[in-house]
């Protein structure tokens, strides 16, 4: 068991010891209130090695404290001149420390001197790293302030006044019939006039909501809020784009100038070198500095402990009192348990997704535990309901990592929630396994703590568009959830269509996450008369959309949904709405759960039946089962001495993991295990 030092007033203790041993030494008070050696005796020349050791330790303690004081967080009040002066002071203190360490090394307390020397050198190295990063961080902090000023001025002086003025004019025109003092026949307003005003009103409201997120992107220093703010902005920007598209198509519109102003405002958060890129770069620098500052403080405490021990040893006294501290070990791993965490939706219109993933993971863990566990340890899962909302995803993930100390995260559900969780996961390099999302944000080349099982949404939409091309469908529309999930899928559709001649996107519209408010989307998409609609959403709003789109279309199009929809849940909901299952397709990223000729499916069905005899096999819990089996395979590979580093060691070279015939392939720059996509018709048992 490690022992943690109880803090002591080190300088005062050493001063008293020197007085006791050195006799003639006198202490004065410095300007900083610290005792200092007087010249009545030359400590450096004193023949007593005990006095020399204690005097050197006293000096080391003081100058190390000065280094720590110069290594606090970077603030915007600092100047380049301040950084230059700090660097000079740090060099001076390090020179004094080096000299005192040489004296200490010659006093006969070799073991203590060696420990103190190592700590001082580590302290100095980390102080230098902080100093080296200050200039870049200060530049980014000041840049953020300038960006915030720019956003604020642009919004309050240019964009908002222009937008509110044109909105006011449009309202007056609508109710007055275009004549001063006149009055329109409100019962017979033209649909186009109403839609024009509705789009403009919606655009101005969206701008009002998005502007604070751009201000946050400029100066925010809390990783907890970064993903949430970015997610909110992307949704508002996508909504604004639809309104701008509609308003731009109105012939002879006098809205052009204000629409360009609003577009420039949203462009601050989009494209190359946008405010969000700046935010993530700044947060990276801040996080690095915070880690170093904490490390410096910890090293200082260890140094004071060693100096405390030296003072006791010199005087022949017992070692100072200590208090027990439990060995940290590997998070989530004990002699009898390996604990995973899951943040997923368990209530609301997407609850079947979280429940399915949880069920599959638990079935896999139960199967392994019944066979004796992983090298004698039982697998456990702690699940927190994140309601499919970013705030709860971040707070839940932080709790699982910090408070519950799980080994890794598994079976996260959704793209926006994954984005919110990533800062906590990446800072601690915590394993993030088998997330139920195909978004590109979890497929970066540098994400060596993320193990994806499934194919991406771009893989799924490519499969859809390829099928539509082969069946002669050319007019494609997209219903998407207005967040990073929906936008990722929409981008995949656009990319696939761009690569084909004769096919085009005739309409796209959105709905808000955790709602089934899709009637407006059905109206707008139906007006474009598509022969195929691709749905990037969950099962409840997808089913509602199919119902209302069919009401407005003479000829039913093909409806196709990505795997996140949950084919079984979609099928159930369509039946509840008394809707036909004909011409409804879902892409799946795991084998068909009814295909018992597949070895992994047969194992899954047996494990599911053993864990919950009433559970019905379906694609979501199968994906959860495969994610659980992936975690089990990596733990078994690591042996009894499991660590996070070993668990994630699949990227240095090509690594193939066989799960009952299902091959998952990882390697340098590739954290996606499978590229397989299966297009299924839900009216034929998923064939």
Distances 323 to 3, 297, 320, 326 between C-alpha atoms, Å: 6, 19, 10, 10
pTM of the model: 0.76
Beta strands in 94-175 (DSSP E): none
Distances 393 to 446, 524, 620 between C-alpha atoms, Å: 23, 32, 20
Instruction: Give Cα 185 distance to the centre of its chain.
Output: 52
Query: Residue 50: its pLDDT value, please?
Result: 86
Query: Residue 37: its pLDDT value, please?
Result: 42
Measured distance CA(128)–CA(125) in Å, rounded: 5
Query: Residue 183: its pLDDT value, please?
Result: 56
Query: Residue 20: its pLDDT value, please?
Result: 55
Query: Residue 170: its pLDDT value, please?
Result: 84
Contact 514, 485 (CB under 8 A): no
DSSP H or E segment with residue 337: strand 337-344
Measured distance CA(508)–CA(519) in Å, rounded: 13
In 3D, which of 439, 476, 472 has the Cα closest to residue 456? Answer: 439
Query: Residue 15: its pLDDT value, please?
Result: 56
DSSP H or E segment with residue 380: strand 378-385
Q: Half-sphere exposure of 399 toward its Cβ, with a 13 Å CA cutoff?
A: 13
Query: Residue 223: its pLDDT value, please?
Result: 77
Q: What share of the chain is helix, strand, coil (3-state, %, to 5)?
A: 55, 15, 30
- Report, as ranges of residue numbers, the positions in the chain whose pLDDT lies below 50: 1-8, 23-45, 323-327, 686-687
Measured distance CA(521)–CA(505) in Å, rounded: 15
Query: Residue 128: its pLDDT value, please?
Result: 94
Name the β-bridge partners of 378. 337
Instruction: Give tens-digit pLDDT for 561-573.
Output: 999 998 999 999 9
Handedness of CA 186, 192, 198, 201 (dihedral sign): negative
């Amino acid at each position: 068991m490690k022992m943690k030092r109880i803090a002591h007033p080190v300088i005062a203790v050493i001063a008293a010891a020197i007085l006791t041993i050195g006799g003639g030494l006198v202490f004065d008070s410095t300007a900083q209130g610290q005792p200092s050696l007087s010249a009545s005796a030359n400590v450096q020349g004193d023949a007593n090695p005990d006095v020399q050791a204690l005097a050197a330790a006293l000096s080391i303690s003081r100058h190390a404290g000065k280094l720590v004081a110069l290594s606090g967080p970077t603030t915007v009040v600092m100047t380049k001149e301040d950084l230059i002066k700090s660097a000079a002071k740090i060099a001076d203190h390090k020179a004094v420390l080096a000299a005192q360490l040489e004296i200490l090394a010659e006093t006969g307390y070799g073991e203590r001197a060696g420990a103190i020397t190592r700590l001082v050198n580590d302290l100095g190295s980390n102080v230098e790293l902080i100093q080296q990063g200050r200039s870049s961080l200060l530049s980014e902090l000041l840049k953020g302030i300038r960006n915030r000023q720019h956003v604020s001025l642009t919004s309050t002086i240019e964009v908002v006044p222009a937008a509110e003025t044109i909105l006011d004019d449009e309202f007056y025109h609508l109710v007055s019939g275009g004549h001063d003092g006149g009055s329109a026949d409100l019962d017979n307003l033209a649909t186009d006039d109403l839609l024009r005003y509705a789009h403009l009103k919606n655009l101005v409201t969206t701008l009002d909501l998005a502007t604070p997120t751009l201000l946050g992107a400029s100066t925010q220093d809390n990783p907890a809020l970064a993903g949430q703010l970015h997610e909110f902005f992307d949704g508002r920007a996508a909504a604004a784009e639809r309104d701008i598209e509609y308003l731009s198509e109105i012939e002879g519109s006098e809205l052009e100038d204000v629409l360009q102003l609003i577009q420039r405002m949203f462009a601050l958060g989009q494209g190359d070198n946008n405010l969000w890129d700046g935010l993530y770069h700044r947060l990276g620098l801040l996080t690095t500095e915070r880690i170093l500052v904490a490390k410096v403080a910890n090293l200082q405490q260890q140094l004071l402990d060693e100096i405390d021990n030296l003072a006791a040893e010199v005087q022949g006294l017992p070692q100072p009192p200590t208090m027990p501290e439990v060995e940290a070990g590997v998070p989530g791993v004990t002699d009898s348990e390996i604990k995973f965490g899951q943040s997923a939706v368990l209530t609301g219109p997407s609850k079947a997704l979280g429940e399915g993933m949880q069920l599959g993971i638990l079935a896999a863990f139960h199967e392994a535990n019944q066979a004796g566990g992983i090298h004698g340890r039982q697998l456990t899962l702690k699940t927190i309901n994140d309601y499919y909302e970013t705030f709860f995803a971040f707070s839940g993930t932080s709790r699982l990592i910090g408070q519950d100390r799980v080994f890794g995260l598994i079976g996260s559900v959704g793209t926006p929630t994954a984005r919110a969780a990533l800062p906590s996961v990446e800072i601690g390099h915590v394993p993030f396994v088998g997330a139920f999302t195909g978004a590109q944000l979890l497929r970066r080349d540098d994400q060596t703590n993320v193990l994806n099982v499934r194919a991406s949404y771009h893989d799924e939409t490519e499969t859809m568009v390829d099928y539509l091309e082969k069946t002669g469908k050319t007019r494609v529309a997209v219903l998407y959830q207005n967040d990073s999930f929906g936008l990722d899928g929409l981008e995949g559709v656009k990319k696939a269509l761009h690569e084909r001649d004769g096919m085009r996107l005739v309409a796209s519209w959105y709905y808000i996450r955790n709602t089934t408010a899709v009637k407006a989307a059905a109206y707008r998409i139906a007006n474009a008369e598509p022969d195929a609609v691709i749905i990037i959403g969950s099962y409840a709003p997808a089913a509602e959309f199919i119902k209302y789109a069919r009401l407005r279309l003479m000829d039913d199009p093909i409806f196709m949904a990505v795997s996140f929809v949950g084919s079984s849940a979609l099928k159930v909901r369509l039946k509840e709405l008394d809707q036909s299952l004909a011409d409804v397709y879902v892409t799946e990223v795991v084998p068909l759960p009814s295909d018992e000729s597949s070895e992994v499916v047969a194992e899954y069905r047996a494990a599911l039946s053993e864990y919950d005899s009433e559970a019905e096999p379906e694609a979501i819990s199968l994906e959860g089962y495969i994610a659980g089996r992936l975690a089990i395979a990596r733990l078994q590979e690591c042996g009894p001495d499991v660590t996070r580093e070993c668990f994630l060691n699949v990227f240095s070279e090509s690594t193939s993991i066989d799960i009952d015939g299902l091959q998952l392939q990882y390697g340098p720059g590739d954290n996606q295990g499978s590229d397989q996509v299966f297009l299924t018709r839900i009216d034929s048992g998923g064939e």
